[in-house]
Amino acid sequence: MRETRLIMESWRGFLNEELEPGNIFTIGELMQYFKRIEPSKLKKLAGKYGSAVVKALTVGAGLAASAATSGIAAGTAAAGAGLAQAVGGEVLEKMLMAAVIAFANIPDESYSADDGSAASFFDIDDTITIFLRNVETQEKNILNPSIPEREAFEEMRNIVSQVAGAIPEDGWAKTRLSDVLNTTTQKVLDANLLQRDKVKVQSS
């Protein structure tokens, strides 16, 4: 229990508590979430994951805020169309990639596993997280993600990169995450761990 609390506390300070990940179901809600987070906080949060993830998080948040602000300020049909196109492209892809990392350590009890929320798509089971980190560091560090976690993040980021382009430009704000994603980070991690076990058995 203490280990779980340490992991959650190390992440909670960076999350936007006005809109919990367990209450984010649409692309529009995801955009609002990242628009409210300071890029500097995201950069600090992602520092342990390397420069590629730092860029995805900070660019995602920055573009989301910029796109939303410019669309509201312009207030025209043309501006709205331009915003939809931007969100359907680079902005949306970066936001989804950012979500893979930002929502990886959500408290399990804060959402239902199959409710279609951002938390349900990107969170990893707390018990598995602690187990993997303890095994990898010989119980010396549970705050940094393990290699299997990192690999699952990378695969999930590739998945969201592919689906981003398929989201329609009109009506993106109401598009549900469950309409565009057919797997979760947890499922990716589970499949990878199962494959590792098979390789071990075959090689022994």
Instruction: Looking at mean pLDDT, say which of 51-55, 88-92, 138-142 comes out highest.
Output: 138-142
Q: What local confidence, expressed as pLDDT, does residue 192 receive?
A: 93
The alpha helices in 87-184, defined as continuous H runs, are 92-102, 118-122, 126-137, 147-164, 177-180
With bands split at pLDDT 50, 70 and 90, how would you rate the model's confidence at 5?
low
Global confidence as pTM: 0.72
Which residues are CB-contacts of 137 (< 8 A; sequence separation ≥ 6)?
144
Q: Which of 128-132, 183-187, 195-199 bottoms out in mean pLDDT, i.e. has the lowest?
A: 195-199
| Cα–Cα separations (whole angstroms), residue 35 to 69, 111, 164 | 9, 22, 18
More confident residue, 160 or 10: 160
With bands split at pLDDT 50, 70 and 90, how would you rate the model's confidence at 120?
very high
Q: 1-24 burial by CB neighbour count: b if 16+ within 10 A, else e?
A: eebbeebbeebeeebbeebbbbeb
Mean pLDDT, to the nearest integer, of 146-151? 93
More confident residue, 97 or 91: 97
What is residue 187's three-state secondary structure? Answer: helix
DSSP 8-state symbol, 26? B
pLDDT > 70 in the chain, percent? 59
